[in-house]
Amino acid sequence: MERDHLKNKELFSAVSHEIKNSLNPVINLSSVLLRSTTGRFTPDENSYLEVIERNGKKILNIIEEFSFLNGLSGRRKKRSISPVSVRAAIDHAIMQSMTLSIDNGCRLVCDIEDSSSVINTEADVFRKIIESICLFFFSLSVENQSIFFASSLSNLKFNLTVSCRKNIISYDDMDLFDKEIAVEKGFSRSSLMWLQFAMFYIFHLKGEARFSSDEDGNAVFSFFIPAEKSETAEYCNEFPETADFRSNSVNEFVMLVIDDDIDNIVPVNAIIENEFKGMGKVYHAESGAAGLDLLEKIQPDIILLDLTLPDISGLSLVRNIKHLFVKKSVPVIAFTGLDIAGDREKMMKAGFDDVIRKPFNIDAFTQKIRGWLD
């Protein structure tokens, strides 16, 4: 049984990796085209690109959810407790949700009394709860609605209430896993999916949840999980995708990308050309051996290295590359669609300086490259 479970987990990880690899050019090339200021597209064509980009991100988000669930299945006995900032988690979830939604005036407002509140729990699961709840409320597609958060912590229980102050529908407590009843109440199956993700994560943390409407017909979702207040806030804002995107300039630079999927090189080239104003030159190698050959001919300022090459593991190749640059510090960044949640430390020990996950956010990608070139 355990062996079959591991095989299924490995198969899912492989399929997930391939899907995310394929989504990378879809999302990022559409994003590059939408950022174009040349007026090459008609308003209708721009709207088509927006649909492609938005739905590519939705597919990615769903795949990420299932990847996370796949990882949780082996975590029943071993829990990883760490401090997480409530405010940072909500701010991050708001930003993530807005990028996946049609702009209809819907806004989420973080109204936490204690903005420095930090709790000890399974931090990654907690963030997933908040993200799923935000995506649920955004998916209701109610124009000009405002969604508010209120939290409290007492008796080792963390409670969060999310309310949508817009009359959507009236209902009593609803079985959140009964799709037929939910559809009858006016919920789409896609919006309900995000709510069910949130419920699964809440149950994983041994919590409880309630979904109902108040006297004005506003949607109210509340949950509590066992948690205690943390005395440290050192962890809080580690969300690289939401970094402050400065526009610091860079000098001319050379980038080497070692990746066997040519479709991942096209968006990198497009981003370097558009976001760095032609200041960067990108070289590409489709294997570890080809990459090492190129390193004898060029002097890169930064290297993006895929972890799954046809001839050698990226973890092995990074060691070889680092030996070539003993006198010159050249950052080598892992460039991968794999789920690296539990492997980041292993990659840093192998010699990688940072990680960029595929598909990537253009602004986060650009800022990370600027940071290493600065």
Q: Buried b / exposed e across 151-175, counting CB within 10 Å, b at 16+?
A: bebeeeebbbebbbebebeebeebe
Decide if 330 contacts 303 (C-beta within 8 A): yes
What pLDDT is recorded for position 240?
41
The domain in which residue 107 lies consists of 82-229
If asked whether residues 178 and 224 sit together in one domain, one would say yes
Q: How far apart are the first and last CA of the chain?
A: 51
Q: Is residue 77 part of a domain?
A: no
Mean pLDDT of 323-349: 80
Angle (nearest 5°) at CA 63 between 55 and 133: 80
Number of domains in the chain: 3
Which tops the pLDDT comparison, 111 or 160? 160
If asked whether residues 114 and 222 sit together in one domain, one would say yes
Instruction: Name the 3-class secondary structure at 242.
Output: helix
At 237, is the pLDDT very low, low, confident or very high (cuts 50, 70, 90)? very low
If asked whether residues 86 and 31 sit together in one domain, one would say no
At 193, is the pLDDT very low, low, confident or very high (cuts 50, 70, 90)? confident
Burial class (CB in 10 A: 0-12, 13-18, 19+), 34: middle
Instruction: Give the tens place of pLDDT for each residue, 239-251.
Output: 344 334 334 566 8
Instruction: Give the tens place of pLDDT for each residue, 30-50.
Output: 988 888 766 778 889 988 998
What pLDDT is recorded for position 299?
92
If asked whether residues 247 and 344 sit together in one domain, one would say yes
* Integer Cα distance of 360 and 23 in angstroms: 10
Q: Is residue 276 part of a domain?
A: yes
Instruction: Give the tens place of pLDDT for each residue, 304-334.
Output: 999 989 999 999 999 999 988 877 789 999 9
Decide if 148 contacts 111 (C-beta within 8 A): yes
- Phi first, then psi, for residue 212 (nearest 5°) are -155, -170
Spatial CA neighbour of 132 closest among 81, 202, 183, 82 = 202
At 170, is the pLDDT very low, low, confident or very high (cuts 50, 70, 90)? very low
Domain at 171, CATH number? 3.30.565.10
Which of 72, 91, 117 delimits the end of a domain?
Answer: 72
* Integer Cα distance of 359 and 21 in angstroms: 7
Which of 197, 229, 261 delimits the end of a domain?
Answer: 229
What pLDDT is recorded for position 331?
94
If asked whether residues 110 and 172 sit together in one domain, one would say yes
The answer on pLDDT for 133 being more than 80 is yes
If asked whether residues 39 and 173 sit together in one domain, one would say no
What pLDDT is recorded for position 148?
76
What pLDDT is recorded for position 58?
84
**What's the one-letter identity of residue 280?**
G
If asked whether residues 211 and 333 sit together in one domain, one would say no
Spatial CA neighbour of 236 closest among 88, 364, 72 = 88
Q: Is residue 234 part of a domain?
A: no
Residue whose entry in the numeric block shows the structure tokens 């990883």: 80
Read off the DSSP letter of residue 130. Answer: H
Q: Is residue 95 part of a domain?
A: yes
If asked whether residues 94 and 59 sit together in one domain, one would say no
Q: Is residue 285 part of a domain?
A: yes
Instruction: Name the 3-class secondary structure at 20.
Output: helix
* Integer Cα distance of 181 and 190 in angstroms: 14
If asked whether residues 220 and 248 sit together in one domain, one would say no
Distance of CA 216 to the CA centre of its chain: 35
Q: Is residue 235 part of a domain?
A: no
Residue whose entry in the numeric block shows the structure tokens 């919006």: 191
Residue 144 makes CB contacts below 8 A (sequence gap 6+) with 104, 105, 106, 166
If asked whether residues 248 and 368 sit together in one domain, one would say yes
* Integer Cα distance of 154 and 225 in angstroms: 11
If asked whether residues 204 and 94 sit together in one domain, one would say yes
The answer on pLDDT for 341 being more than 90 is no
If asked whether residues 35 and 157 sit together in one domain, one would say no
Which of 72, 98, 125 delimits the end of a domain?
Answer: 72
Domain at 276, CATH number? 3.40.50.2300
DSSP 170-226: --SS--TT-HHHHHHTT--HHHHHHHHHHHHHHHHTT-EEEEEE-TT-EEEEEEEEE
What pLDDT is recorded for position 235?
41
pTM, 2 dp: 0.69
Mean pLDDT estimate for the chain:
78
